[in-house]
Amino acid sequence: MTNRDLTMRRPKMTVSRALTYTLLYTILVVVALLVLYPLLFTVSSAFSKGDALAGLRVYPFQQELSLRQFDRLFQKTNYVKWYLNTLKIAAINSLISVTVTTVAAYVFSRFRFRAKKPLLMSMLILQMFPSFAGMIALYILVWRMGLLDNHLGLILVYAAGNIPYNTWLIKGYLDTIPKSLDEAGRVDGAGYFISFFKIILPIARPMVTFLAITSFTGPWMDFILPRLLLKSDGNKTLAVGLFEMINGRENNNFTMFAAGAVLVAVPFMIIFALNQQYMTQVLAAGAVKE
């Protein structure tokens, strides 16, 4: 910001300039209101007493505050179960993805073998397809494996779908770690296994953390796969549960939905705020690259 001080000398205030700035401020404030309104309206709905969308005042926080909607959410729906299901699926997916991907990436980065190039190229092609392009076959495969309406089936599909891209990502990172480091370890008697855990993993921690976080947040708002593979209400994830709570029943369930949405959005916004510094760096790094 400081370098802008050098560049723009304050121009003299004239009538037309004053008008321009009034207009500019008006626009900025209107945009801010447009941004805030849906969010405030949702928060206020979550704490409202009435169940119907039609009964809500159009301005936020104009009605009596109440925790009735949260009560309904916990008592009348499987919301708590959905939350725990999602948490469980996200955590296990993160664990499997990290384990499977980092080991595979290590092999691709350190071993030389005939099938390496074709395998890497096929993964490159596979990662271009959206994961649900094969959804009918996934459904039938999971069905034939007896894993329909079972979280394990969904977790396997998630973990598998992310392997191609993530393996490339991690392999790229491992390639930048000098090979002499783990070769030295192996000369000292450590096998590939030990040098992987003792030498490579600690160095690759930032990338592995990144992978763990993205594979944890991925399943939270994913909709298509859980809707396809999970059937019973108690097994659903948050995205499907919330969608079906409100789809076609806007008027009756909006306030309860709002309560559920607030409970998801708040942790996400906290994580976002904590990560903001990191994220802007990632964004900037992405932008600077030619």
Q: Scanning residues 215 to 274, which ones bind other proteins (CB under 8 A)?
A: 220-221, 223-224, 227-228, 239, 242-243, 246-247, 250-251, 254, 257-258, 261, 264-265, 268-269, 272-273
If binding is defined by CB under 8 A, does position 133 make contact with other proteins?
yes
Q: Which of 137, 180, 188, 189 binds other proteins (CB under 8 A)?
A: 137
Task: Give the largest CA-CA distance in the chain.
Answer: 80
Residue closer to other proteins, measured from CB, 158 or 235: 158
Nearest-angstrom CA–CA distance, 95 and 76: 32
Extract the tokens encoding 241: 């549960």
- The total of other beta-carbon atoms located within 10 Å of residue 107's CB is 17
Nearest-angstrom CA–CA distance, 75 and 70: 8
If binding is defined by CB under 8 A, does position 19 make contact with other proteins?
no
Residue 128 three-state SS: coil
Nearest-angstrom CA–CA distance, 190 and 201: 15
If binding is defined by CB under 8 A, does position 22 make contact with other proteins?
no
Residue closer to other proteins, measured from CB, 122 or 209: 122
If binding is defined by CB under 8 A, does position 83 make contact with other proteins?
no
**Residues 149-188 close enough to bind other proteins by CB under 8 A:** 156-157, 159-161, 163-164, 167-169, 171-173, 175-176
If binding is defined by CB under 8 A, does position 95 make contact with other proteins?
no
**What is the nearest approach in angstroms of other proteins to the Cβ of residue 216?**
14
Residue closer to other proteins, measured from CB, 78 or 196: 196
Nearest-angstrom CA–CA distance, 34 and 15: 29
If binding is defined by CB under 8 A, does position 7 make contact with other proteins?
yes
Element (H, E) at 210: helix 205-217
Residue closer to other proteins, measured from CB, 117 or 205: 117
If binding is defined by CB under 8 A, does position 111 make contact with other proteins?
yes
| 105-109 contact pairs (CB < 8 A, 24+) | 105/166, 105/167, 105/168, 105/169, 105/170, 105/171, 105/173, 105/174, 106/174, 106/196, 106/200, 108/167, 108/171, 109/171, 109/174, 109/175
The CA–CA distances, whole Å, from 22 to 12, 18, 187, 202, 288 equal 16, 6, 72, 55, 35
- Binding track over 39-78 against other proteins, x by CB under 8 A: x-xx---------xxx-x-xx-------------------
Count of residues of this chain found to bind other proteins when the rule CB under 8 A is applied: 114
Alpha helices in 111-150 (DSSP H): 116-126, 135-144
Instruction: Select from 35-43, 63-71, 81-89, 197-205 the region that touches other proteins (CB under 8 A).
Output: 35-43
**What is the nearest approach in angstroms of other proteins to the Cβ of residue 96?**
9
**What is the nearest approach in angstroms of other proteins to the Cβ of residue 42?**
5
